[in-house]
Amino acid sequence: MADVVFKNVSFRYGSHAVLEDFNLEIKSGEIFCLVGSSGCGKTTLTRCLLGLNRPSAGEILIGGVCVFSASRHIDMAVERRNIGMVFQDYAVWPHMTVGENVAYPLKKKGITRRETEERVKKALDLVNMGAYSGHLPNQLSGGQQQRVAVARALAAESDVIVMDEPFSNLDAKLREQMLDELRDIQKKSGTTILYITHDQQSALRLCDRMAIMEPGGKLCQTGTDEEIILHPKSRFAFEFIGVANFIPVRKSPDGTFRLIAKEREFDWVPAQDPSEAGERFLVGVRPGDIVFDPDSPLRVTVRRAVFLGGEYDYFADLGGTELRIRQNSQETENGVPVREGTETGIRFCDCRYFPKEEGAAI
């Protein structure tokens, strides 16, 4: 177990700056998810931590030990950094059995045969692959191969395990199962895990804490999943972590508010006081925080109703602006869902205010 610290790390490919003054602290024993869209610099960061990329500035510490410092000319060799790694592609060696795959890094470290056997057994049992020790990877499913890769990282008793999109190739149901299992395994082993993904749902399912990375390698918010969802610091964070509707608002001289949809404006009575928000701002509202209310002056026409089993996902037109609305199928009015083509009213039960330009939440 070890904490991981990135201090003012900068990295560029030629003239393309991927990370600039990047700072992040991961606590010992936690599962930390770094989530960001494709191309924002996540793998580049992983490679800097592993020692495969050499930053132009900054420091990286693992368990208080400096493994890289540009100014102090420290650049610890990859194998001495003691980091376990699980990649997206099934990175198990195809010619070795499951047991040999997990044992290989231990052999390279010079661990005795007896201890190796014990650790391999323990790690394979932890990932529910104890019965497959003699199998070859091509006899296993994708999910099982990824379990072997996780066991290999666990058996090496690394200070930190880095996982870069490890379950992205698995179907949604198996991915959820693997994430839940990984969380259990991590709680038992206590290993520090840095889990990298572009998928918010995976991050929410897994993490103790998470950070959202913006294009250009900047972190826009770090915190627990609840902090980020309930108190998004910026429009980007609000939008990234789930479906969000944004509608411009204008404050009239008489102190009332107008919602400015594409083709018409509506009088609007905010549920929360927007007095800090100024004359013009955006209201951000989650689909689940909009309810149908036939008496409301905010008039919508329901264009599409998608039945998802437990809930309906609606696409509604508010004066030319498309809104997403979500409603629990149990809570539909009189047990009847709102049908496509219905003209009705809506209310916002909860909302957030954001400046018109990208920036911090108000």
Ligand X SMILES: Nc1ncnc2c1ncn2[C@@H]1O[C@H](COP(=O)(O)OP(=O)(O)O)[C@@H](O)[C@H]1O
Contacts to ligand X by CB under 6 A? 13, 16, 18, 36, 38-44
- Concatenated DSSP letters for 140-208? S-HHHHHHHHHHHHHHTT-SEEEEESTTTTS-HHHHHHHHHHHHHHHHHH--EEEEEES-HHHHHHH-S
Binding partner of residue 36 among Mg ion, ligand X, none, CB cut-off 5 to 8 Å per kind: ligand X
- Concatenated DSSP letters for 236-268? HHHHHTS--EEEEEEE-TTS-EEEE-SS-EEEE
In the complex, what is the shortest distance from the CB of residue 232 to ligand X, in angstroms, rounded to a whole number? Answer: 21
In the beta sheet, which residues pair with residue 68?
Answer: 60, 75
Q: Which is nearer to ligand X, 22 or 314 (CB)?
A: 22
Pairing of strands 160-164, 192-197: parallel
Q: Which is nearer to ligand X, 49 or 277 (CB)?
A: 49
Asked if 96 contacts 87 with a C-beta cutoff of 8 angstroms, the reply is: no
43 makes contact with Mg ion (CB under 5 A): yes
Largest distance between two CA atoms of the chain = 81
Q: Cβ of 95: how many Cβ atoms within 10 Å?
A: 9
In the complex, what is the shortest distance from the CB of residue 45 to ligand X, in angstroms, rounded to a whole number? Answer: 7
197 makes contact with Mg ion (CB under 5 A): no
Q: Which is nearer to Mg ion, 179 or 346 (CB)?
A: 179
- Concatenated DSSP letters for 9-27? EEEEETTEEEEEEEEEEE-
In the complex, what is the shortest distance from the CB of residue 198 to ligand X, in angstroms, rounded to a whole number? Answer: 7
Q: What x/- string results for residues 240 through 279 when contact with Mg ion is judged by CB under 5 A?
A: ----------------------------------------
Sheet holding 57-62: strands in order across?
16-26, 4-13, 57-62, 65-69, 74-75
234 makes contact with Mg ion (CB under 5 A): no
- Segment interacting with Mg ion, rule: CB under 5 A, options 41-49, 119-127, 213-221, 280-288: 41-49
Asked if 342 contacts 351 with a C-beta cutoff of 8 angstroms, the reply is: no
The phi-psi region of residue 193 (left if phi > 0; otherwise alpha if psi is between -120 and 50; otherwise beta) is: beta
In the complex, what is the shortest distance from the CB of residue 37 to ligand X, in angstroms, rounded to a whole number? Answer: 7
In the complex, what is the shortest distance from the CB of residue 85 to ligand X, in angstroms, rounded to a whole number? Answer: 14
53 makes contact with Mg ion (CB under 5 A): no
- Segment interacting with Mg ion, rule: CB under 5 A, options 36-44, 77-85, 176-184, 319-327: 36-44
Mapping DSSP to helix (H, G, I), strand (E, B) and coil, where does residue 219 land? Answer: strand
Q: Which is nearer to ligand X, 16 or 73 (CB)?
A: 16
In the complex, what is the shortest distance from the CB of residue 169 to Mg ion, in angstroms, rounded to a whole number? Answer: 13
Binding partner of residue 13 among Mg ion, ligand X, none, CB cut-off 5 to 8 Å per kind: ligand X
In the complex, what is the shortest distance from the CB of residue 226 to ligand X, in angstroms, rounded to a whole number? Answer: 25
The site for Mg ion (CB under 5 A) is made up of 42-43
